[in-house]
Amino acid sequence: MQRKILTVIIFVLAAAACRKWAPDDLDYLSPRAVYNQKVFSPVMGRTTLYSQIFNTDNSSTPIQFKITNVRYKTTGEPATDLGKPVQTLVWKQAYTGEEKSLAEIDAKRVVETHPAWEIRPNSGEFILWAAADNSILREQPDSGYLFDVEASNSGGKNVYTDLALMPYREQPYAPYEYDAVTGLQRANYPNPSDSSVFKLIYNNPGVQNVTDDETNLGLRSDSVRVLFNRKGDGNSLTFKFMDKDSLPIDPARFNRTAWDTLVHGFNRVTTKTEVRYDVAYPIPLIRYRTKYTNGDGSQAYVKFIWDRVGFGNIRETCSIDFSFSIYRKGDWEIIFFFQHNPRFRDE
C-alpha cells in the first residue's frame, strides 16, 4: 500500500515535470523580405557580385537560398546554363597592392569550380564568375534567363519568382568604345534624325598643360586616342606612344613619369618604343584603393609626366593621365596615339 501511494506520487511528479506546453523556437522568415533588384545585367568576362541585394526585414539569419526553375525567357523552356561549372580564379587572401612579385599575387588566389551564375547560400547575393562567357550563357540581345529563388529557414519558406539574368557580351577592357549589346563601335550622332552623319567614339586620356607642337595652343584631350590591343595570351602590359605620323615616341621623353609605380607590374622593360611590365590580370585586381588606382580603387590609373621650360623661362609640368581596366588576361598594349604632336622641347 505504501509503495502504491509512493508510486502514485512519483508518477504525478513525473507527469508534472514533463510537459512543456509551449510553441517551438523557430526562426523567423518575414513574408516581407524581398530582393531589392530582380533584373540582373552583368557584363560577362569579369566577376560581378550583386552585394546586399536581399532585404531580410529582420528575418533570422542565416537563411538558405537556392536557385530553382531556371528557364529561357523567350520560350520558357528549362535551362541548365546557369548551373554550368566554370573554372575561375577566386581570392583566398586579401590583395593589398603591396605584393612584390607575380608569384605572390598568384599565391593569393586559386582556381576553383563554380556555377557560372552562383547564389551565395546564406546571403542571397548573386555572382557571375569571370570565366562565364558567351559559350556558356546567352548574351544580349537575347532576352536571357528567368529563375526563381527559394529562401528558407526553420521559420518557413519564401519563393521569389521571375528574377531575370540578361548578361551583356564580354567587354575585355574599359573604357570600352564598342556597344554593349551590338559590339559595334559607338558613335555620336550630332543630328538625331540623320544616322549617316556620325562621329565615332574613341577613348581619350586626360591632358594637362600639354602644348600642341604645331599650333602653340593647348593640346585637346580628343587629340589623343587610347587604343587597346591584345597581342597574345601572356601576362603583360605594354605602353606605347605614337605621334601623328604613327611613329613611336620614346617613353624616355616622359621624363618625370614614376615608371616603377605606374602599374602594379613587375620586370619592367623599357625600350625606345615601349614600356613593358609583367602584370596579373584583371587590372586592377580588385576594387581596392592602392597607389596604382584611382581614388575609389575601381580602375587602374596611369599618369605620364614630363617637364619642359615654357615661355618666360617657367618650368612647366605636362602630363597625360588615364583610368582603365582590363578584364581579360593577355599580352595587352595600350597605345597613346597623338593626333597632334605634343611639345617636349624647351622654349
88: cell is 575561375
Q: Does 13 bind other proteins (CB under 8 A)?
A: yes
Q: Pattern 280-299, binding to other proteins, x per CB under 8 A?
A: -----xxxxx----------
> CA 205, CA 174: separation in Å to the nearest integer?
12
Compute the Cα dihedral for 288, 293, 298, 300 and give only its sign: negative
Largest CA distance in the chain: 124
Q: Select the residue interacting with other proteins from 2, 36, 193, 195 (CB under 8 A).
A: 2
Collect all residues with Cβ–Cβ distance below 8 Å to 58 and sequence separation of at least 6.
Answer: 28, 30
**Is residue 11 within the footprint of other proteins (CB under 8 A)?**
no
Our CB check for other proteins shows the closer of 8 and 159 to be: 8
Say how many CA atoms lie within 13 Å of 343 toward its Cβ: 21
CB of 1 to other proteins, least distance (A): 5
In this chain, which of 43, 44, 63, 275 binds other proteins, going by CB under 8 A? 63
Alpha helices, H only, 222-331: none
Give the separation between CA 176 and CA 171, rounded to whole angstroms.
Answer: 7
Cβ 181 to other proteins shortest distance, Å? 25
74-93 footprint of other proteins as x/- string (CB under 8 A): ----------------xxxx
- Comparing CB distances to other proteins, the nearer of 12 and 269 is 12
Q: What are phi and psi of 34, to 5 degrees?
A: -140, 160
- CA-to-CA distance for 198 and 211, rounded, in angstroms? 28
**Residue 212 is placed in which grid cell?**
600642341
> Which 171-190 positions form the footprint of other proteins (CB under 8 A)?
none
Among positions 153-172, residues that touch other proteins (CB under 8 A) are 155
Positions touching other proteins (CB under 8 A) are 1-3, 5-6, 9, 12-13, 16-17, 19-26, 28, 30, 47, 49, 51-52, 56, 58-63, 90-95, 108-109, 112, 120-123, 125, 127, 129, 155, 285-289
